[in-house]
Amino acid sequence: MRVAAPSRDERVAYGRWDIGLHFRLCHVRHLAGIDFLGDGTRGRAWTGAPVVTHEPCSAVSDEPRVVAADFTGDGLADDWSGPLEYCADCRPFAASDLDADGDQELAVLEQASSTPQYVFFSAVATDAGPHLRPLKVAPPGAPRGGLKPGSPLSITLGTDEGFSGWLACDGYPTDPVLVWTWSNFAIEQDTTKDVSEIRLRLGDDGTFHVLGDSRYTIPVDKRVAGVSTGPACGMDLDPAE
């Protein structure tokens, strides 16, 4: 006997059990058309709150979120990773080849706000097949800029309350170098602002290597040189659009 597909109301109330995981996902967001393996396959990614009980999804949206990925294009998740450290309207956001090796990395929006925060994931080859892993910062990192070695790369962009962040990309698509620049000052207190520029390359080892970490101070009314908004490394990381 053919079983009827769950209605939209049921999927909202009880989450998705058709993604291929051994648990349901609530508050699901997804992104399609991701070539995780570099073979032309149109895979996809999801974020959602895992549910292992028979209870319906919570109306509260602050449960831990995981990221799941379909590498083979069959619409079913092949692996998952998590939980995300934060989630404020978190979702798979964009994909691009950040190391010029033919496959695409995934940018996940962790916090959607005037200062959106992103982390990155990739399909990492193992003896058991590809697995989804967060892309981390290689030693020594850039601790002064908030990038601790061994931690997932997390960048904050946008503008709010004295903070501004920008992402640029040199050498894309043949030799991409991510250039994350941010400035910060205390409104109505500081007359100068601190500016940090961190240059990162995704290496063959699956970690982001810091190529440069420069820091300087300028007057608060002076524009940070060499920065602009818009797409970088083939990704438009503006959640407001």
Closest to 142 in 3D by CA, of 72, 61, 196, 216: 196
pLDDT tens, 42-65?
999 999 999 878 888 887 667 899
- In angstroms, the CA 208 to CA 141 distance is 9
For residue 12, name the pLDDT band (cuts at 50, 70, 90).
Answer: low
Q: What is the mean pLDDT of residues 107-122?
A: 96
State pLDDT tens for residues 68-93.
999 999 999 999 999 999 899 999 99
Length of the chain: 241
Model confidence band, residue 3 (pLDDT cutoffs 50, 70, 90): very low
Residue pair 17/24 in contact by the 8 Å Cβ criterion: yes
| Nearest alpha carbon to residue 77 among 97, 47, 110, 40 | 47
Tell me what the mean pLDDT of segment 18-42 comes to: 95
The secondary structure of the chain in percent helix, strand, coil, rounded to multiples of 5, reads 5, 45, 50
